[in-house]
């Protein structure tokens, strides 16, 4: 049905129940109402939340998203935008039985790849791995990379300002965006898909929507930055004595490789134990166990010589006593196995029982102090609790997750979530850090925000929300 035909049908149906009117915008096939059909959209990966909603809509175009938001304003219906439903703070979950979930999965066109300008224009529902593959086909790189890349979407990545494992060199999601197309509350469309590196024509609105978790508008497409594809990639697993030595190794490798050091991930020994125990096909990365591990990757424009340079650098680091042992992936299969060990860390915490999570950042130089002080605080609060710190050391971003003591009651441990959070976040504050480095605020950290944000900044955020969404329709109850 054409849009014009649809709006004619819409006016005839304007006395119909809102649900019927919403369904008419996308067509019945893409309006899910049965509990079994909508269930997958109401449940998130960490089992922290179970949501409710009246309807899930899967619009197939920006125009349909616009119609939905127009009708939402008229009927004062809450709208919860959702991409691949991989978010870790509950931002994509609807908690209102009258609300409408707008899934962007059918906005799945790559509108343009412009290798000369180094840009690619993707609709919001494009799965991140597909965006990466499309760039690769054109001998380019789209560098955003994270564990959920096989199912998370570009729209969700931008709405949450995702970070991932290559932010060290290429930046976080917001650094990879040239322009946006956004549907605003009430249905107006901001056509901001510019591909300009330089554009000083007033306020840079794209950064308002990136990281706003769907509370200010729905991102429907983005002009993304592409980079030259690296000609060689070398990946090393290193065993180190402490986070302090891992930091020394980071500084040393940055001095040797500059921005070619594209990943620098830290993993506590306990994380390797969980992975080798619970993930079939994984094995110890090094011959002997080490208290801490680093997974480092070099991506170079040079086809030759990188491996030898990395070997020499690691040998020098060993002479300096900041590395105890290291191995460089000998094949693409081994490289993938190294990364599987790293990305598998998220899922292997589940079989170990309750896990209290923190996605925190501090200035890079403070990471060792963070790990030491948080470890002491947690042990004092819950003796026997098992911290599994891991994450993006190069960005100062640690996933400070704590598994329950062996044999403890899962729920009794999880009941201490806020108490443990308060202790860890207190240390983060003292060290000049952030309580949400890359996962966002969603509902999980909403109550914490007023305690950590500058009051003027928080009031400015509330003013922006009122200006852009005066009826409070867009993802209500999230962030603010
Ligand atoms: C990661 O770095 O693996 C992700 O941010 C997910 C997680 O925290 O589990
Ligand atoms: Zn992460």
Q: What is the pLDDT of residues 303-332, one digit of tens each?
A: 999 999 999 999 999 999 999 999 999 999
At 318 the three-state DSSP class reads helix
What's the distance, Cα to Cα, between the start and end of the chain in Å?
Answer: 38
pLDDT digits (tens, 9 = 90+) for 151-176: 999 999 999 999 999 999 999 999 99
Cα(471) to centroid(ligand 2), Å: 34
pLDDT at 13: 53
Residues 322 and 318: their CA atoms lie apart, in Å, by 6
Cα(172) to centroid(ligand 2), Å: 11
Closest CA to 232 of 137, 303, 142: 303
Q: What is the mean pLDDT of residues 416-445?
A: 98
Residue identified by tokens 């009031």 is: 459
- CA distances for 168 relative to 58, 144, 154, 164, 268, angstroms: 35, 11, 19, 9, 20
Give residues with Cβ within 8 angstroms of 376, minimum separation 6.
Answer: none
At 222 the three-state DSSP class reads strand
At 331 the three-state DSSP class reads coil
pLDDT digits (tens, 9 = 90+) for 342-381: 999 999 999 999 999 999 999 999 999 999 999 999 999 9
pLDDT at 45: 83
In this structure, what token pair is assigned to residue 46? Answer: 């960490």
- CA distances for 26 relative to 7, 70, 217, angstroms: 11, 14, 19
Whether the predicted pLDDT of 279 surpasses 80: yes
Residue 114 pairs in a beta bridge with: 119
Q: What is the residue with the minimal CA distance to atom 8 of ligand 1?
A: 399
Cα(190) to centroid(ligand 1), Å: 32
Give residues with Cβ within 8 angstroms of 337, minimum separation 6.
Answer: 281, 282, 283, 329
Could you tell me if 345 and 271 are in contact, meaning their C-beta atoms sit under 8 angstroms apart? yes
Q: What is the mean pLDDT of residues 446-459?
A: 97
Cα(111) to centroid(ligand 1), Å: 30
pLDDT digits (tens, 9 = 90+) for 193-250: 999 999 999 999 999 999 999 999 999 999 999 999 999 999 999 999 999 999 999 9
Candidate from 11-20, 34-43, 79-88, 126-135 with smallest mean pLDDT: 11-20
Residue identified by tokens 């500059």 is: 258
Could you tell me if 262 and 299 are in contact, meaning their C-beta atoms sit under 8 angstroms apart? yes
Whether the predicted pLDDT of 11 surpasses 90: no
In this prediction, residue 15 has a pLDDT band, given cuts at 50, 70 and 90, of low
Residue identified by tokens 């001095």 is: 255
Q: What is the mean pLDDT of residues 378-395?
A: 98
Nearest atom, ligand 1, residue 147 CA: 3
Q: Is the CB of 346 under 6 A from ligand 1?
A: yes
Could you tell me if 469 and 185 are in contact, meaning their C-beta atoms sit under 8 angstroms apart? yes
Residues 339 and 275: their CA atoms lie apart, in Å, by 12
Among 47, 162, 399, 437, which is best to mutate for testing ligand 1, by the most ligand atoms less than 8 A from CB?
Answer: 399
Residues 130 and 133: their CA atoms lie apart, in Å, by 5
Q: What is the residue with the minimal CA distance to atom 9 of ligand 1?
A: 346
Closest CA to 248 of 198, 317, 306: 317
Could you tell me if 69 and 185 are in contact, meaning their C-beta atoms sit under 8 angstroms apart? yes
In this prediction, residue 123 has a pLDDT band, given cuts at 50, 70 and 90, of very high
Residues 34 and 38: their CA atoms lie apart, in Å, by 6
């Amino acid at each position: 049905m054409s849009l014009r035909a649809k709006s004619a049908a819409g006016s005839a149906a304007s006395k119909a129940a809102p649900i019927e009117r919403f369904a008419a915008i996308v067509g019945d096939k893409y309006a899910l109402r049965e509990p079994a059909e909508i269930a997958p959209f109401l449940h998130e990966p960490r089992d922290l939340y179970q949501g409710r909603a009246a309807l899930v809509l899967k619009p197939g175009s920006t125009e349909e998203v616009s119609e939905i938001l127009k009708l939402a304003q008229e009927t004062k219906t809450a709208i919860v935008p959702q991409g691949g439903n991989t978010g870790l703070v509950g931002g994509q979950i609807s908690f209102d039985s009258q609300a409408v979930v707008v899934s962007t999965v059918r906005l799945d066109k790559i509108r343009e790849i412009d290798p000369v300008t180094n840009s690619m224009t993707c609709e919001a529902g494009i799965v991140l791995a597909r965006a990466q593959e499309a760039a690769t086909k054109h001998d380019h790189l789209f560098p955003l990379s994270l564990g959920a890349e096989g199912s998370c979407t570009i729209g969700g990545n931008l709405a949450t300002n995702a970070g991932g494992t290559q932010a060290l060199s290429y930046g976080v999601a917001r650094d990879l965006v040239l322009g946006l197309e956004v549907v605003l509350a009430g249905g107006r469309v901001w056509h901001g898909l510019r591909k300009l590196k330089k554009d000083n024509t007033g306020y840079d609105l794209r950064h308002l929507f990136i990281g706003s978790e769907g509370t200010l508008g729905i991102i429907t497409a983005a002009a993304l930055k592409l980079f030259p594809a690296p000609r060689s990639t070398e990946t090393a697993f290193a065993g180190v004595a402490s986070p302090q030595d891992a930091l020394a190794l980071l500084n040393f490798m940055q001095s040797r490789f500059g921005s070619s050091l594209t990943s620098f991930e830290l993993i506590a020994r306990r994380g390797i134990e969980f992975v080798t125990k619970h993930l079939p096909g994984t094995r110890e990365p090094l011959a002997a166990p080490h208290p801490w591990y680093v997974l480092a990757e070099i991506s170079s424009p040079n086809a030759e010589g990188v491996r030898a340079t990395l070997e020499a650098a690691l040998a020098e680091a060993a002479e300096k006593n900041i590395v105890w042992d290291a191995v460089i992936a000998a094949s693409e299969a081994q490289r993938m196995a190294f990364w599987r060990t790293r990305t598998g860390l998220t899922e292997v915490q589940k079989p170990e029982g309750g896990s209290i999570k923190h996605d925190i950042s501090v200035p890079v130089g403070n990471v060792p102090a963070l790990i030491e002080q948080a470890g002491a605080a947690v042990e004092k609060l819950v003796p026997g609790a098992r911290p599994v710190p891991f994450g993006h050391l190069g960005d100062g971003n640690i996933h400070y997750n704590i598994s329950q003591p062996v044999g403890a009651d899962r729920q009794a441990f999880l009941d201490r979530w806020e108490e443990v959070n308060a202790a860890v976040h207190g240390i983060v504050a003292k060290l000049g850090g952030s309580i949400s480095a890359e996962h966002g605020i969603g509902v999980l950290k909403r109550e914490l925000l007023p305690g950590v944000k500058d009051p003027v900044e928080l009031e400015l955020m509330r003013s922006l929300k009122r200006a852009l969404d005066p009826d409070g329709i867009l993802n209500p109850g999230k962030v603010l």
